[in-house]
Amino acid sequence: MTPAPTRVVVVGADAAGMSAAHQALRTARRTGRRLDVTVLERGHHTSYSACGIPYWMAGDVPTGDDLVARTADQHREAGIDLRFGVEVVAADLAARTVTTADGGAVGWDELVVATGAPAVVPDWALRSDGTTYDGVGVVKTLDDGAAWIERFAAAGDGAHVVVVGAGYVGVEVAEAALRHGFGVTVLTRGRGTGMLEDELADLVNTGLVDAGAELVLGAEVTCLDVTDGRVSGVRWDGGTRAADLVVVAVGVRPATGFLEGTGLELSPNGALRPDPHGRVGDHVWAAGDCCEVRRRVDDQWVFRPLATYATKHGRALGDSLAGGSLGFDGMVDTSITRFAHADVHLEIARTGLSRRDADAAGFDAVALLTEGTTTAGYLPEAEPVAIWVMADRATRRLLGVQVVGGRGAGKRVDAAAAVLWAGGSVDDLAWMDLAYAPPFSTTWEVLQVAARRVAERL
């Protein structure tokens, strides 16, 4: 008798969950396993690029549909039983069931947790019924994006947008609001984007101000002014600003509440810690924003909710679940964004450790900031670029690189990420064979000059 197919239940139908589902089916065809793959999604969207939402808000992407990589129909045609409007509220690992919000139960042989990390909404943004005041919202899902498109369209000339948070999402949304001609204030409790060393964050801060935004550093929002249920201002310790719209971009938190009491180990912020194949327990798997990822440079778990990790880990998980051996071998903490408006064009990127990470890991780190140009200086398109490089004095290992600069600056970080990935030295970065022609770099590429300067000081 042919054995019954293995019942795979995936919770969450976006980057991690659908990567896992499709790869499991592909690998199962190769390994000869029979899988029934069911995906339970509490919302009504699947496989879309949240990363593209700020560019949709800015007007660069015509519709939300353009952000959808694969439709629900395409998933179903591939053999996946995708169910929308189904929220999982509990899991029983012994009985191998999940309970849904309508009280139903779904049985599984293999459970994949890919529930992501919803945006954090502080109390000051919420009415007593838990909804946000009119004119206030986060930027996380396609529905959030659609709500912002409507709010932007309804806002009159001279409207003022306050963005709370100066991380990547805050910076991208500030750009979108400026592009609509709105007044923009960015409030951040720190000294600027926390992903960068202070001297690079300062360059981003200067770019925001040069592009017309007001920037308030060290501002902890305390409450909103609300008129007839609608936001009319923002108050923080030290100031107030009248506001027509308030974007809350203060981070995300793993959606793992339904796993409480299952015995699965969660990190202090509630994230799962899967192995390279995605395993978190007996027949239980996880990937994506609901997880922390292993950073290879200092061998630490860190919470980095990024699509690039969700899709890679999801794929490795799906393959392993179906009998393959793909593994997600951690990351080196690489990320990138852009802030561009008016005459300002800044590409912002980092890889590896920050100074604080290096100190915590006990490295004797040496770091320097080097300035140069993105192309040969004699070309009209040459733009300034600042590159921060850090290496370990004892071993000469490259530890981290950060970049802020004009067009073409940002993806320079990839060469540094490749060296970090291979555990290479600052000398490797200084001397490796990178492409050169005047429209692309100076003869001594600025990244390599930056590495060489650090190497000379070790």
Can residue 372 be called a binding residue for ligand FAD (CB under 6 A)?
Answer: no
- Shorter beta-carbon distance to ligand FAD: residue 178 or 389: 178
Can residue 51 be called a binding residue for ligand FAD (CB under 6 A)?
Answer: yes
Close Cβ partners of 445 (under 8 Å, ≥ 6 residues apart): 412, 434, 436
Segment lying near ligand FAD (by CB under 6 A), choices 13-21, 76-84, 127-135, 440-448: 13-21
Q: Which two tokens stand for residue 15?
A: 């980057």
**Nearest approach, Cβ of residue 48 and ligand FAD (Å):** 8
**Cα–Cα distance, 352 to 423 (Å, whole number):** 11
- Shorter beta-carbon distance to ligand FAD: residue 38 or 375: 38
Q: Under rule CB under 6 A, which residues in 163-202 are in contact with ligand FAD?
A: 169
Among 6, 8, 9, 17, binds ligand FAD (CB under 6 A): 17
Which of 381, 387, 394, 395 has the alpha carbon at shortest distance from 437? 381
Size of the site for ligand FAD (CB under 6 A): 32
HSE-up of 52 (CA within 13 Å, CB side)? 17
Q: Under rule CB under 6 A, which residues in 57-86 are in contact with ligand FAD?
A: none
> Hey, how many other C-beta atoms are within 10 angstroms of the C-beta on 278?
30
Whether the Cβ atoms of residue 217 and residue 201 lie closer than 8 Å to each other: no
Q: Which two tokens stand for residue 242?
A: 């009248």
Among 20, 21, 40, 155, binds ligand FAD (CB under 6 A): 40
Among 8, 28, 37, 53, binds ligand FAD (CB under 6 A): 53
* Orientation of helix 198-210 relative to helix 168-179, angle to 10°: 10
Can residue 50 be called a binding residue for ligand FAD (CB under 6 A)?
Answer: yes
**Nearest approach, Cβ of residue 40 and ligand FAD (Å):** 5
Residue type, 349: A
Can residue 310 be called a binding residue for ligand FAD (CB under 6 A)?
Answer: yes
- Shorter beta-carbon distance to ligand FAD: residue 115 or 375: 115
Which of 244, 182, 242, 184 has the alpha carbon at shortest distance from 208? 184
Q: Is 65 exposed, middle or buried (0-12, 13-18, 19+ CB in 10 A)?
A: exposed
**Cα–Cα distance, 49 to 301 (Å, whole number):** 25
Can residue 306 be called a binding residue for ligand FAD (CB under 6 A)?
Answer: yes
Q: Under rule CB under 6 A, which residues in 409-448 are in contact with ligand FAD?
A: none
> Hey, how many other C-beta atoms are within 10 angstroms of the C-beta on 221?
21
Q: Under rule CB under 6 A, which residues in 125-164 are in contact with ligand FAD?
A: 139-140
> Hey, how many other C-beta atoms are within 10 angstroms of the C-beta on 119?
18
Q: Is 70 exposed, middle or buried (0-12, 13-18, 19+ CB in 10 A)?
A: middle
Can residue 43 be called a binding residue for ligand FAD (CB under 6 A)?
Answer: yes
DSSP letter (8 states) at residue 32:
T
- Shorter beta-carbon distance to ligand FAD: residue 149 or 226: 149
**Nearest approach, Cβ of residue 308 and ligand FAD (Å):** 4
**Nearest approach, Cβ of residue 230 and ligand FAD (Å):** 24
Segment lying near ligand FAD (by CB under 6 A), choices 40-48, 59-67, 196-204, 369-377: 40-48
**Nearest approach, Cβ of residue 419 and ligand FAD (Å):** 21
End-to-end CA distance of the chain: 68
Can residue 255 be called a binding residue for ligand FAD (CB under 6 A)?
Answer: yes
**Nearest approach, Cβ of residue 100 and ligand FAD (Å):** 8
Can residue 289 be called a binding residue for ligand FAD (CB under 6 A)?
Answer: yes
Rounded to whole angstroms, what are the CA distances from 15 to 68, 113, 170, 288? 11, 12, 22, 7
**Nearest approach, Cβ of residue 118 and ligand FAD (Å):** 7
> Hey, how many other C-beta atoms are within 10 angstroms of the C-beta on 124?
17
Can residue 13 be called a binding residue for ligand FAD (CB under 6 A)?
Answer: yes
- Shorter beta-carbon distance to ligand FAD: residue 334 or 448: 334
- Shorter beta-carbon distance to ligand FAD: residue 347 or 392: 347
Residues near ligand FAD, by CB under 6 A: 11-17, 40-43, 50-51, 53-54, 87-88, 114-116, 139-140, 169, 255, 258, 288-289, 305-308, 310
